[in-house]
Structure 1
Amino acid sequence: MSDRYELFLTCPKGLEGLLLEEATGLGLEEAREHTSAIRGVADMETAYRLCLWSRLANRVLLVLKRFPMKDAEDLYHGVLDVEWHDHMVPDGTLAVEFSGHGSGIDNTHFGALKVKDAIVDKLRTPSGERPSIDKFSPDLRIHLRLDRGEAILSLDLSGSSLHQRGYRLQQGAAPLKENLAAAILIRAGWPRMAAEGAALADPMCGVGTFLVEGAMIAADMAPNLNRIHWGFDAWLGHIPAIWKKLHEEATERAEIGMAKPPLWIRGYEADPRLIQPARNNIERAGLSHWIKIYQGEVATFEPRPDQNQKGLVICNPPYGERLGDEASLLYLYQNLGERLRQACLNWEAAVFTGAPDLGKRMGIRSHKQYSFWNGALPCKLLLIKVVPDQFVTGERRTPEQRQAEREQAESDLPSNIEAPTKYEKFNKNGNPIKPAPVVIEQPRLSEGGQMFANRLQKNLKALSKWVKREGIDCYRVYDADMPEYSMAIDLYHDWVHVQEYAAPKSIDPEKASARMFDALAAIPQALNIDKSRVIVKRRERQSGTKQYERQSAQGKFTEVNEGGVKLLVNLTDYLDTGLFLDHRPMRMRIQKEAAGKRFLNLYCYTATASVHAAKGGARSTTSVDLSKTYLDWARRNLSLNGFSDKNRLEQGDVMVWLDACREEYDLIFIDPPTFSNSKRMEGIFDVQRDHVQLLDLAMARLAPGGVLYFSNNFRKFILDEHLESRYAVEEITASTIDPDFARNSKIHRAWKIMAR
């Protein structure tokens, strides 16, 4: 065998340049980049060193042979020509990986099968001994890469991927691979900072991957020092003496590094379920005396090493995949920016994000950005110097002011970060001068965000007298007033409920997203509401009962007041909240007219109208709906107000229930869905097609002198003209629209219907 080998080192996409620099430093020669890999030549000692010390590679592949191939037969014979007796014993185990296509091979499984057949045929003994397949823990792992008609046959020296260091047996929902975490630390300048004794903090540490990788770099610990199984363990070309020497050297370096005073390395995690898994991972890595983990929210993050010590804040905020994540992510980034400006002055920060636009919402400029891939997701690494000159504030400062702030910040830095001395300035009398506090300002809203905030404040002011007079604490404050900010915003006491209308296809999705973030940034400031109390949902064109389907499972109810009654709303779990705000005037009308009457509420939803009827002194209420979930909710609304008696709840298809009913009612309210095709109802309900039959059935149950109120929110609805020949029909829509819905007069239509 040759003393020098061609090596391929594979890596995640985007890490090629960093891996090239690392591998060259470890002894790889003639190195050059490929897609998700680098290639070079080295002796066996360097190949082992790369396995042991590479923080960035996935695999180290030793090339056994290159050969041209035109078809599957060329592939078989090219592999067969290798002296496999030099590499493995006949009764060993084998795994084959095949990548690429062409030359008549479009199926990687078929390609791997041809490679396996050639190796087995070469090693089969006269007595029938032959290698067997073991995909999980083979003696040898063989890789063949097909590239433009050339086959590159390699031995995988790594075994399992090198990113699997062995310490992370427990992980969170979306963890970074260890080699990607190491690459981010290297790009952020952590090796240099660690050598200078800096601190490291992660305010969203998850299970601690950044912290462990950072500590291993600081302690000069080989990332794969504790790996038990290697791809070369059973390889006949393995040279144990060289490996033993390298491993002993790495062990000695780690012992020296671990004997040094540990750096200040801390992690903070909001999810209590991840605290113990993180600590377990750190303990497995042997770094418990270097790294400490605490439970804490980003909003309260405040690293506290030595008063004068600075360092690196590094984090990988969540990307967001669930309903309402826009708001929570925006405020998470804003909180992160606030904490950096207020608690980490003169530190450096590295934020790895799959949502770079959100990075702009932190209120600090990044001085460098690097592109990475986290699996198939394109990401950015934002590098930030946390100094006032980089803060984005509402106040424009002159160059002289910026220079003064820079000098002030620099004056607070000691010449030796390890020294405990407190540095002070003195006046001419020798008395210490207190440094002027650095004023931390809120991030400046964009021009669009400020314009949106102004509109919210204008609407709030316009409604304030009416809200106070009527004693209302849940109402609409914005309803797509500005076309470019297409959303509805409702206040529920001290909560904000935002419904984002899906942008038309003609609108650039990136612009729509940017406007949404502008609006979300403006809402807490304009409405003086804490960020944590903003709930965001996306409202799109719904079909069937989709708008009533569960979207979350928090089960949290909030109590609100309306017209002297208490009602329960759920702001998170469904697209609607359990209270249709636009029907407030109708509910108040029912309350005023219900005294002594028998009230029937059809398609009752959460029976808010029935609560108002009971409050108004109704003799009895009957509420009908198909959904058991909403009837349970209705029962809670009634009980909350002490109206459990004489208030009946009926589950069923309204049309079927009416057809079977023989009772009379003095006051009836009907607010049907536009369309419904529930599995529990007979047929399909369409309000335009079926409203005549519905009203005829309901009017048959109306007592002499009684009143029926009919309402729906189908914008194209046309009331059948023949109804006026049978009943006294009066449209009352205008009187059922309160000031908070004045801009949207078509939110619903309503009629008062009586017998002639």
Structure 2
Amino acid sequence: MSDRFELFLTCPKGLEGLLIEEAVGLGLEEAREHTSAVRGMADMETAYRLCLWSRLANRVLLVLKRFPMKDAEDLYHGVLDIEWADHMVPDGTLAVEFSGHGSGIDNTHFGALKVKDAIVDKLRTPTGERPSIDKINPDLRIHLRLDRGEAILSLDLSGHSLHQRGYRLQQGAAPLKENLAAAILIRAGWPRIAAEGGALTDPMCGVGTFLVEGAMIAADMAPNLNRELWGFTTWLGHVPALWKKLHSEATERAAIGMNKPPLWVRGYEADPRLIQPARNNIERAGLSHWIKVYQGEVGTFEPRPDQNQKGLVICNPPYGERLGDEASLLYLYQNLGERLRQACMGWEAAVFTGAPDLGKRMGIRSHKQYSFWNGALPCKLLLIKVNPDQFVTGERRTPEQRQAEREQAAYDQAPTEPVERQYNKNGNPIKPAPAPVVEQARLSEGGQMFANRLQKNLKLLGKWAKREGVDCYRVYDADMPEYSMAIDLYHDWVHVQEYVAPKSIDPEKASARMFDALAAIPQALNVDKSRVVVKRRERQSGTKQYERQSAQGKFTEVSEGGVKLLVNLTDYLDTGLFLDHRPMRMRIQKEAAGKRFLNLYCYTATASVHAAKGGARSTTSVDLSKTYLDWARRNFSLNGFSDKNRLEQGDVMAWLEASRDEFDMIFIDPPTFSNSKRMEGIFDVQRDHVQLLDLAMARLAPGGVLYFSNNFRKFQLEDNLSERYAVEEISDKTIDPDFARNAKIHRAWKITAR
């Protein structure tokens, strides 16, 4: 065989530039960059060195042959032409990988099969011995790459991918591959910082990949020093003496590095379930005396070992894919930026993110950005020098923002309710508690305007809510068109529903405004960031709004009009309590004394609980969902009601047709549309409301009252109903101040017998 070989080094997309620098440094000659690969020439010693020392490559492929290929027959004969007896024994094991297409081969499995057949036919002995397939640990791993009519046949010297160092047997939900983590560290300047004695910390360390890769770089430890099985281990062209020499040199270098005073390398992780897996990985890497991992939130981590120590803060924050992630991720990035400003002055930071817009919310500018790929996800590496010159204190205003600011100022100058002066026992006036202060430096100008609006609304509505005994109400409903969302307070929680922007709005601008608003909400409403829940409200069809979105199962107790109710802010699009129907519930409570009350499409039966609170003789609540009836049962129990309150599971129309009971008060708030599998046919409120009301009125006792409402904006009550019943629209009487801006949130009618 030749003393020089052509090598292909494969790598993740985006690492080619770093890999070619590394490979040339390790001895690769005539190096050229390809997509997800580097090509060059080397002797066997360099090939071994690349296997042992490359922190960035996935595989080291030794090219055996290149040949033109027009069809499957060319492929077979090109592979057959190799002297395979120089590479493996006849009864050895084999694995074949095939990439590319064309030349009559569009199926990689078929291409791999043709390569395997050629090798087996070449090595088959007269006695029938032949290689067998072993896809896990073969004696020889062959790779054929088809590139524009040329077949490149290679021997994989690596075996398993080089990113699998062997220390990470336990991992978190979305870990970085080890070679990608090493590339990020190199781009962030960690080799330079480590050489200067700098520290390394990861405030979201997960199972410790950044920490281990960083410590191996600092200790001059070959990343694959502890690997036992290689692609060349049983290759007949393997030179054991040469490999032993290189491995011994690497072992000696690691020993020298590990005997140096260890650098300060620390990790912090909020999830307690990941602490032990991280420590186990660190121990397997032999770096327990270098790396320490602690449990702690991002907002509390302390990266400085002492006032004079400097170094690198590196992290890979989560990107977010679930409903409501926007708020938690925004606050996570804000907390990270705050900790960098407070505790890491003079340090360098590297934030690897798949959501670069969130990176802008840290309040610190990056001086460099690099593009990477984490699998199929495009990502950015933001490099930051933590010093006051890089801190963000505001943003330039666009003409649109200046106009919005003028409109906001006019609104803020509008008269408000007079302040009620209070006095202490000595007769001296008590100074009112100061309103929550919005930190100007933390918000964009748009965010500041939004915060001002929220504070104005809170001041107006808070007094009304306290007077009415309500601790859950709407504080904002798309008041400023460019911030299109509804914001509800539930005691000390905030529930945000983002209305999806129309297609005419630039998605990037809509996203930026959403983040502006989320940044302003905790400060303006004086709530903890962890108590902000975000959902996206789109045009609904069927029962989508009732479908489970999450499974946290966390309920929060709220109150209105002396009634305690349970809401779930995370698991469904709606919370279990329709705030806009509060006036109707209060009306029912006031009128329910001694009456038999029927609640159709009861949802979580909040109106029934109000009726029971008002002294109803009995309540009957009907809904198709067992989940919501169980919820209703908990609402009754929370208020001490159990007897006289029936919960009926069933299709309302069918239930009404079968019922012969009489009721003195009936409340109906049907869905706009329903096609549940548990009911016959489809319910459409516009089409079916006459039949629904006729069935319900048949169950109404003499002198009774039926309240009917719905939220379908285009709904029209059938005219001929007024010929049979006394019908009065009471919509304007069922809107509280918190929905005054959205008077069309629902319509309501009072219906009685003539």
Both proteins in one fold, TM over 0.5: yes
Cα deviation per residue 1:286-337 (whole Å; 9 max; x = unaligned)?
1111111111111111124133211111000011111100111111100100
| CA displacement at 1:156 relative to structure 2 | 0.5
- Are 1:362 and 1:443, in contact at CA under 8 Å, matched by a contact in 2? no
- TM-score, normalization: structure 2? 0.93
The alpha-carbon deviation at position 407 of structure 1 amounts to: 42
**Contact 2:601/2:652 (CA < 8 Å) preserved in 1?**
yes
Q: Deviation digits for residues 450-482 of structure 1, max 9, x if unmatched?
A: 222222222222323322322221111111222
C-alpha distance after superposition, 1:156-188 (max 9, x if no partner): 100010000000111111110000000000011
Deviation at 1:435, TM superposition (A): 36
Per-residue deviation, 1:509? 2.1
Instruction: Verify the 8 A CA contact 2:470 2:560 in the aligned structure 1.
Output: yes
Within 1, Cα distance between the matches of 2:313 and 2:430?
A: 30
Cα distance, 1:697 vs structure 2: 1.1
- SS state at 2:457 partner: helix
Question: Cα–Cα, structure 1 residues 404 and 425, in superposed 2: closer, same or farther, change >3 Å?
Answer: farther
Rounded to whole Å, the distance in 1 between the matches of 2:675 and 2:465 is 38
Equivalent residue, structure 1, for 2:439: 441
Structure 1 stretch displaced more, 272-281 or 446-455: 446-455
Judge conservation of contact 1:342–1:440 (CA < 8 Å) in 2: no
Inter-CA distance 731–507: structure 2 relative to 1 (3 Å threshold): same
Task: Identify if the C-alpha distance between structure 1 residues 411 and 387 changes in structure 2 by more than 3 Å, giving closer, same or farther.
Answer: farther
Change (3 A) 1:682 1:399: closer
CA contact (8 A) 1:495 1:533 kept: yes
- The structural deviation recorded for 1:393 is 2.0
Tell me the CA shift for residue 511 of structure 1.
Answer: 2.1
Task: Give the match for residue 8 of structure 2.
Answer: 8
Deviating beyond 6 angstroms after TM superposition, the runs of 4 or more aligned structure 1 residues are 395-412, 418-422, 424-442
Tell me the alpha carbon deviations over residues 45-78 of structure 1, each in whole angstroms, 9 at most, x when there is no partner.
Answer: 0100000000000000111111111111111111
TM-aligned CA deviation for residue 628 of structure 1: 1.1
Deviation at 1:394, TM superposition (A): 4.7
Find the aligned partners of 1:42 and 1:513 in 2 and give their Cα distance.
Answer: 50
Matches within 5 A, 1:67-216: 67-216=67-216
Range 23-32 or range 475-484, more displaced: 475-484
Name which of structure 1's ranges 428-437 and 466-475 shifts more when overlaid on structure 2: 428-437
Structure 2 unaligned segments of length 5 or more: list them. Answer: none
Query: Retained in 1: the 8 A contact 2:405–2:449?
Result: no
With 184-193 and 432-441 compared, the bigger mean Cα shift is at 432-441
Alignment of 1:483-632 (within 5 A): 483-632=481-630
Shift of 1:32: 1.2
In structure 1, stretches of 5+ residues that fail to align are 413-417
Q: Aligned-pair distance for 1:432?
A: 46
**Partner residue of 1:426 out of 423, 427, 440:** 423
Q: In 2, Cα distance between the equivalents of 1:435 and 1:682?
A: 59
Change (3 A) 1:7 1:399: farther
From 677, 684, 687, the counterpart of 1:686: 684
Confirm or deny: 8 A CA contact 2:416 2:460 kept in the other structure.
no
Stretch of structure 1 that moved more, 660-669 or 583-592: 660-669
Could you say what secondary structure the match of 1:146 adopts? strand
Distance 1:127 1:617 in 2: 96
Match of 1:25 in 2: 25
Contact 2:438–2:523 (8 Å) recurs in 1: no
> Which string of whole-angstrom CA distances, capped at 9 and with x for unpartnered residues, describes residues 506-563 of structure 1?
3222222222111111111221211111000111122222211111111111111101
Quickly say closer, same or farther: Cα 1:408–1:286, change in 2 above 3 A.
Answer: farther
Distance in 2, Cα, partners of 1:733 & 1:437: 37
1:487 CA displacement = 1.1
CA distance in 1, matches of 2:422, 2:725: 90
Asked if structure 2 preserves the Cα contact closer than 8 Å seen for 1:389 and 1:405, the reply is no
- Deviation at 1:408? 39
TM-score by length of 1: 0.93
Length, aligned pairs only: 750
- Residues in 2 aligned to 1:718 and 1:61: alpha-carbon distance in whole angstroms: 72
**8 Å contact from structure 1 (residues 387, 409) kept in 2:** no
Contact 1:363 1:442 in 2 (8 A): no
Structure 2 CA distance for aligned equivalents of residues 104 and 681 of structure 1: 55
Is the CA contact 2:304–2:310 (under 8 Å) kept in the aligned structure 1? no
With over 3 angstroms needed to count, the CA separation of the structure-2 counterparts of 1:743 and 1:48, relative to structure 1, is same
C-alpha distance in structure 2 between counterparts of 1:230 and 1:436, whole Å: 70
State the secondary structure of the residue aligned to 2:442.
Answer: coil
- 3-state SS of the aligned residue for 1:443? helix
% identical aligned pairs = 91
TM-superposed deviation, 1:653: 1.2
Q: 1:275 to 1:49 in 2, by over 3 A?
A: same
Question: Structure 1 stretch 642-651 or stretch 572-581: which is displaced more?
Answer: 642-651
Greater displacement, 469-478 / 299-308: 299-308
- Measured after TM superposition, the shift of residue 501 of structure 1 is 1.4
Over 3 Å counting, the alpha-carbon distance change for 1:633 and 1:152 in structure 2 is: same
In the alignment, is the contact (CA less than 8 A) between 2:395 and 2:444 conserved in 1? no
- Which sits farther off after the overlay, 55-64 or 656-665? 656-665
The change in CA–CA distance for 1:433 and 1:558 in structure 2 (over 3 A counts) is closer
Distance 1:630 1:691, change over 3 A: same
3-state SS, counterpart of residue 393 of structure 2: coil
Question: Following TM superposition, by how much is the alpha carbon of 1:433 offset from its aligned partner in structure 2, in angstroms?
Answer: 41
> What CA distance in whole angstroms lies between the structure 1 residues aligned with 2:184 and 2:498?
35
Deviations 1:418-473 (A, max 9, x none): 99999x99999999999999999775322322222222222222323322322221
Per the TM alignment, residue 114 of structure 1 is displaced from its structure 2 partner at its CA by: 1.3
What CA distance in whole angstroms lies between the structure 2 residues aligned with 1:389 and 1:231? 51
Q: Is the 8 A contact 1:88 1:235 kept in 2?
A: yes
Aligned-CA RMSD value: 9.1
Shift of 1:738: 0.8
Cα deviation 1:323-379 (Å, max 9, x = unaligned): 100111111100100111111111110000000010000000001111100011100
Contact 2:202 2:266 in 1 (8 A): yes
Deviates more, 1:648-657 or 1:576-585: 648-657
Q: Distance in 1 between matches of 2:410 and 2:264?
A: 22
The answer as to whether partners of 1:348 and 1:386 remain within 8 angstroms in 2 is yes
Measured against aligned partners, the alpha-carbon deviations of 1:694-739 in whole angstroms (never above 9, x if no partner) come to 1111111111111110001111111111110110000000000111
Deviates more, 1:267-276 or 1:479-488: 479-488
**1:47–1:103 distance in 2 versus 1, CA, 3 Å:** same
Superposed displacement of residue 398, structure 1: 22
1:578 touches 1:606 (CA, 8 Å); kept in 2?
yes
Q: SS at the partner of 1:32?
A: strand
3-state SS in 2 of match to 1:460: helix
The 1-side partners of 2:37 and 2:196 are apart by 32
Q: Using a 3 Å threshold, how does the CA distance of structure 1 residues 226 and 425 change in structure 2: closer, same or farther? A: farther
Contact kept in structure 1, 2:323 and 2:549, CA below 8 Å: yes
Q: Distance in 2 between matches of 1:558 and 1:621?
A: 24
Pair 1:436–1:60, CA change in 2 (3 A): farther
8 Å CA contact 2:438, 2:448 repeated in 1: no
Mark the CA change 1:571 to 1:306 in structure 2 (over 3 Å): closer, same or farther: same
Contact in 2 for aligned 1:388/1:406 (Cα 8 Å): no
Contact 1:389 1:402 survives alignment (8 Å): no
Task: Give the Å deviation of 1:503.
Answer: 2.0
- Cα distance in 1 between the residues matched to 2:427 and 2:196: 33
Provide, for residues 652-688 of structure 1, a one-character-per-residue CA deviation record: whole Å limited to 9, x for no partner: 1111111121121111111111111112222221111
User: Which residue of structure 2 lines up, in the alignment, with residue 463 of structure 1?
Assistant: 461
Q: How far apart, CA to CA, are the structure 1 residues paired with 2:125 and 2:499?
A: 71
Q: Is the 8 A contact 2:395 2:445 kept in 1?
A: no
Q: Structure 1 CA distance, aligned partners of 2:484 and 2:411?
A: 48
Q: 1:294 to 1:411 in 2, by over 3 A?
A: farther
What CA deviation, in whole Å up to 9, does each residue of 1:243-282 have, x standing for no partner? Answer: 0000000001111111111111111111111111111111
SS at match of 1:63: strand
- Per-residue deviation, 1:112: 1.1
Change (3 A) 1:280 1:237: same
Q: Report the alpha carbon displacement of residue 39 of structure 1 after superposing the two structures with TM.
A: 0.7
CA distance in 2, matches of 1:153, 1:536: 53
- How many Å apart are 1:126 and its aligned residue? 1.2
Distance of 2:423 and 2:597 partners within structure 1: 81
Q: Which moved more, 1:501-510 or 1:92-101?
A: 501-510
Q: C-alpha displacement at 1:411, in angstroms?
A: 47
Distance 1:690 1:419 in 2: 46
Deviates more, 1:88-97 or 1:400-409: 400-409
- In 2, the alpha carbon distance for the partners of 1:555 and 1:299 equals 26
